[in-house]
A and B are shown apart, each in its own frame.
Chain A
Amino acid sequence: MLTITLSIFIPFLAAIFIPFLYKRIGRHIGWFVIIVPIALFILLASFIPSIANGETYEHTIRWIDSAGIHFTTYLDGLSLIFGLLITGVGSLVILYSIFYLSERESLGRFYVYLLLFMGAMLGVVFSDNLMVLYVFWELTSISSFLLIAFWYHRKKSRYGAQKSMLITVSGGIAMLAGFLMLQFLTGSFSVREIIATIGQYTDEPLFLFAMLLVLLGAFTKSAQFPFHIWLPDAMEAPTPVSAYLHSATMVKAGIYLVARFTPIFGTEMSWLYIVSGGGIFTLFWGSFNAVKQTDLKALLAYSTISQLGLIMSLIGLGSAALNQGADANSILYAQATFAALFHLVNHSTFKGALFMVVGIVDHELGTRDIRRLGGLMAFMPVTFTIALIGSFSMAGLPPFNGFLSKEMFFDALVNARNFDLFDASTIGILFLVVAWIASVFTFVYSMIIVFQTFFGELHIEKLEKQSTREASIGMLIAPSILAVLVVGIFFFPNIIGNYLLRPAMNAVYPTLAGAEGLAPKIYAWHGFESVALWMTVGVVVVGTILYKTLRYWKGIYTVAPMKWSLDSVYNALLETLENGSSFLTRFYMRGYLKDYLVYIFSFFIVSVGAAILLTGSYSFDFSNNAPISLNEYLIVFAMIVAAISILLVKSRKTAMILNGVLGYSIAFLFVVFRAPDLALTQAVVETVTTALFLLAFYFLPEWKKEDSPIRTKVFNGLIAISVGTIVTVLALTVQGNKMFESISSYFEDSYNLAGGKNIVNTILGDFRAFDTMLEVVVLFIAGIGVYTLIKLKVQKEGRDYED
């Protein structure tokens, strides 16, 4: 269906028009922007009934045919959930930011970035082609980078933006490599085609690498341990951005990817271990660290990390269903994925609401530090209510939707103990215990949000803005809608279950599609014999005790191992990389021509010398050599003496004249070897160059004695001798081994061919005149060059130039 393809492009198109509209209508620009996500939401919602009936939609625009890259969009249950989240939460966030951002901000820029992000995110979830998916994936990274650094005059914003960019893009590149490996294995970029054929390739060694690399991309984007460190720093973004990107949409791109790729990689045990293990540990680590935060947004960031870990671990456990074909247990194991998708929806609602609440507190009171806040309940009743709903849902209490998904989470873990894949008594139990402890911490920090912000005493003198009033109605609408959803989903969970989660389950488990019980009914009440219920009771009891005694055990965070943070590892890594690379560069780029010549000649010695030695091509054949006459001996002897003397003389002029001796000796050699044209030219050119050298050296300072250490001299001498030896060996080898007859006999007929008896001249002027012509041009350029250089130097003295 073209509609889906269009829905990706509409945000981009709208983004183009925003600068023009912003110039016209100024601060009301948000009201125009909000039309886009609302329209898209309605459009996507209209697909719900047909998707629930098991239909899927596909549309292809051919893009790069030769590479198999097509702009294919594919709408099924899984992408529909994400599409609805992106547009739905997007509408609410834009509504919220209309009231949140003051008109002094550069709103045009903000909405352009936001729409770019929305389009990119829709592209990620609707794309079927891996390359197109990757393009949109990186676009989300880039637009997120721009949004985090929206207040670019703040140092922390820039730091956070750079950090998130580095981490997510590194993961993205790894993912690209994984995609390419997949394409190499299966010959297709289409996700669905790969799903259909991947079964034949699971034994290939590349398969495991592809899996690890794709997971790296998903883990960095979804802030899984140890790549979670960018998310808390990304909280420097404006709060609507945090609510949208860093709780509801972008961080779930990794989860989408894992869910989408479960049919491809899910049959592997290592997939299950990595995804669920990584997720469980992230769940624990995030919730554990959230408790010690004093900034509300940082607390929410760690809470997001932890909840993402929860969803990730559930999807990992759910892949067990693919491990052993379709049997009765498969359906049971698949419940984990069902819980994951359900919690994904729930998390988007309550975390979005909580971020907006924190934004309101920040906006009205000028601080988000819980040590300064307190007693807001009395004059911010609506905000308090929403915060209460969101936090209690996050903690997993009834009657909020978090309770349902938390129960399902526990259920899935209890089921996981029965996996024949696990060593049921150890790893299964370990997962269950870690998850339960993490839930206790989740309960504790959820209570911190509510009680330390809204209860207790109001210390108005600690606040930056001394106004105590409720936020404007406009700002409260969006979080209220989300809060209503939080409660609504609790009472009517099966609407979501039936219409959204069931088709999504079919997408994650194509082999089990349509099986009875794949998408179960969601019950709030499991009966007293349910293990999950008692686990929740335990969480509440222990959590309450821990919260009450918080100040007694908070000391553990200052114990040494807890203070070591991954942030310092990241910073140290960056610093080491920078220092290391600049050290490495300074080590060889020393700025001395002498050093570079040493590199060049050493390379020559190593490459050519080694080639000669290794191939054994140094064979000399002197049988065809002409006899050497006396005058040749004399000339060569004179040259040797002159050449050695150059190295030893003290003045530059003497060296120059000795150089002239070499030149004239060569002219004599030309005479002896019967090359009159060359001899003439060599003699005159030698004269001219010697004269020019003497002219130029007149202005140079005295030739300084080289005072380099003896070691360097010996080294340079060795290099010079080696190069000379190699060139000599080369020349002798080439000279002695002629492989075919010379072609010069052709030119001997020059009088008939070119009308001249001087062969050299006919070659230069006729047979190979092209060379001569270009040499003339070279000479001309050199002359112009000398002229310009000298004249330009005269101008320079007038300071009429830029350094």
Chain B
Amino acid sequence: MKINDVILQTVTKIVVFIILTFGIELFLAGHNSPGGGFIGGLVLSSAFVLLYLVHDIETVRKGIPFDFKKIAAIGAFLAVGTGIGAVLFGEEFLTQAFDYFDLPVFGETELSTVMLFEAGVALTVVGVVVTIISTISEDV
């Protein structure tokens, strides 16, 4: 029996964007407020999980043609890579740097290498959670 869940799908279209925005907000705010790479990544992946629940796997895969295993790998590489990057500048492994820049739209903004590291964490979390859930559900 084909269930017509049009309300769910319509709501999802809006909610997914809210969740994605919230996840990115958590990720960006992490340095000064609660949040950060891990929780941001989890929230982002929950958006993808919601998509899997509402649509079937094939549809989501067509809409988001990423291989989440690769995303996880890129994330892990980024996290380790920031550590090695510090070594290239003659610092200890995983030394983080930060400074303040005057950017055109944002005004004075802090940019730091921690952001890269956190991005690695977030990508790994997203990649791993989505990979696990989609692999298990495919197996079902």
Indicate if A736 sits at the interface (CB-CB under 8 A). Answer: no
Chain A: interface size category: 35 or more
Give every chain A residue within 8 A of B37 (Cβ-Cβ).
765
Known: A776-B79, A783-B131. A761 touches B35 (CB 8 A): yes
Q: Which of A684, A696, A755, A783 contacts B69 (CB 8 A)?
A: A783
On whether the beta carbons of A755 and B112 are closer than 8 Å, the reply is yes
Query: Is residue B94 within 8 Å, beta carbon to beta carbon, of the partner chain?
Result: yes
The answer to whether B39 touches A784, judged by C-beta atoms less than 8 angstroms apart, is: no
* CB of A757 closer than 8 Å to a CB of B: yes
| Contact partners of A537 in chain B: CB under 8 A | none
Q: Which residues of A are found within 8 Å of B94, using beta-carbon distances?
A: 769-770, 773
Q: B-facing mask of A243-262, CB < 8 A → 1, else 0?
A: 00000000000000000000
Closest to A764 in B: B36
B33 touches A758 (CB 8 A): yes
Contact A779-B125, Cβ < 8 Å, known A684-B43, A766-B114, A770-B94? yes
Q: Is the CB of B42 within 8 A of A773?
A: no
Choose the segment among A82-90, A554-562, A592-600, A673-681 that binds chain B (4+ C-beta atoms closer than 8 Å).
Answer: A673-681
B-facing residues in A746-803 (Cβ within 8 Å) = 754-758, 760-762, 764-766, 769-770, 772-773, 776-777, 779-780, 782-784, 786-787, 790-791, 793-794
Contact B30 A681 (CB under 8 A): no
Cα–Cα distance between A672 and B17 once the two chains are bound (Å): 30
In the complex, per-residue mask of B52-76: 1 if CB is within 8 Å of any chain A CB, else 0 = 0000000000000000010011011
User: A-side binding surface: helix, strand, loop or mixed?
Assistant: helix
Contact between chains at B121 and A784 (CB < 8 Å): no
Tell whether, in the assembled complex, residue A786 and residue B31 are in contact, meaning their CB atoms are under 8 Å apart. Answer: no
Complex Cα–Cα for A716 and B31 (A) = 47
> How many angstroms from the CA of A685 to the CA of B135 in the assembled complex?
18
A692 to B132 alpha-carbon distance, docked (Å): 9
Given contacts A688-B42, A780-B73, contact A754 B132 (CB under 8 A): no
Tell me whether A782 and B128 are in contact in the complex, defined as CB-CB below 8 angstroms, given that A680-B39, A765-B117, A773-B79 are known contacts: yes
Number of A-B contacts (CB under 8 A): 137
Question: Are B96 and A695 closer than 8 Å at their CB atoms?
Answer: no
CB–CB B133/A769 < 8 A? no
Contact of A779 among B31, B39, B112, B124 (CB under 8 A): B124
Query: In the complex where A758-B33, A780-B124 touch, is A688 in contact with B79 (Cβ < 8 A)?
Result: no
A754 and B114 within 8 A (CB)? yes
Can you list 27 A-B contacts with CB-CB less than 8 angstroms, sorted by A residue number?
A: A677-B34, A680-B39, A681-B42, A688-B46, A688-B129, A754-B96, A755-B98, A755-B112, A756-B114, A760-B34, A761-B36, A761-B118, A766-B96, A773-B79, A773-B80, A776-B124, A779-B128, A780-B73, A780-B75, A780-B76, A782-B128, A783-B129, A784-B69, A787-B69, A790-B135, A790-B138, A790-B139
A residues neighboring B (CB under 8 Å): 676-677, 680-681, 684-685, 687-688, 691-692, 695-696, 698, 754-758, 760-762, 764-766, 769-770, 772-773, 776-777, 779-780, 782-784, 786-787, 790-791, 793-794
10 more CB-based (< 8 A) A-B contacts, given A761-B30, A761-B118, A765-B37: A758-B32, A762-B31, A762-B114, A765-B121, A769-B94, A773-B83, A780-B128, A783-B132, A786-B132, A787-B69
